[in-house]
Amino acid sequence: MGYSRNIREIETLCRNLGLDKDNVWHKTKALLTIYRKVVWSIHQRVDDMVMEDIVTYGRRLDKALEYLYDFAPIEKKKDFEDQVNYLFETKWLIDLIDKSLVQLKKYPDQGEIYYTIIKNAYLNEKKIPDIDVMQIVSLEKTVYYQRKKEAIYLVGIALWGYAIPEIKAEMKFLSTIN
């Protein structure tokens, strides 16, 4: 089966941003798979958090961003979940992923569909089976799974290609003025 036009565009985006397409896929799929469990388990604590000191915040953020940028998705799942649980305990990381989802929704070609798929398949409090998400977005099975794959790639591109580098640049700038 040949690649769709959308997957070719995704490959081009990855190349232009210096991202490894397969790495983006595995990292994003791993994060999305545990996102619901992690976020919903700490939801109350996140609501109560307050940033105390920009220097301390910056160091923690920088370490977490480096981990996210460099982690190997083939690690043992439990070790990965433990590390990501720690990272997700701060609101900024949730905001970082939310920022990527906003970008996904704005994607010029089918962004709303991509967003709806990711939101329902991975982010809602209760998992919605693919068959039900297919009905929500009114797509046949084959097209749905193709769009889901594209959506996962695009979340990864938004996260590792734009959101994380943008935050890292802001943190670098902040460290020069402190």
What pLDDT, on the 0 to 100 scale, is given for residue 82?
66
In this predicted model, what pLDDT tens digit does every residue of 21-76 receive, in sequence order?
Answer: 999 999 999 888 887 776 766 655 544 433 333 344 455 656 666 666 666 666 55
Q: Say how far apart CA 103 and CA 99 lie, in whole Å.
A: 6
Q: For residue 83, give both structure tokens.
A: 């590390």
Average pLDDT over residues 120-125: 89
Residue 13 has pLDDT above 60, yes or no: yes
Q: What is the mean pLDDT of the chain?
A: 79
Q: What is the pLDDT of residue 92?
A: 66
* pLDDT at residue 1 in the model: 40
DSSP labels, 123-167: ISSSPPPHHHHHHHTT--HHHHHHHHHHHHHHHHIIIIIIIHHHH
Q: What is the pLDDT of residues 101-115, one digit of tens each?
A: 999 999 998 999 999
Residue predicted with more confidence, 50 or 5: 5
pTM of the predicted structure, to 2 decimals: 0.73
Residue 11 above 70 pLDDT?
yes
| pLDDT one-digit tens code per residue, 143-163 | 999 999 999 999 999 999 988
Q: The tokens of 70 are what?
A: 């460099």
Whether residue 178 contacts residue 55, with contact meaning beta carbons closer than 8 Å, is answered with yes
**Could you state, in order of their start, the residue ranges of all structural domains in the chain?**
5-177
| Structure token digits, residue 165 | 């580098």
Q: Would you state the pLDDT for residue 116? A: 96
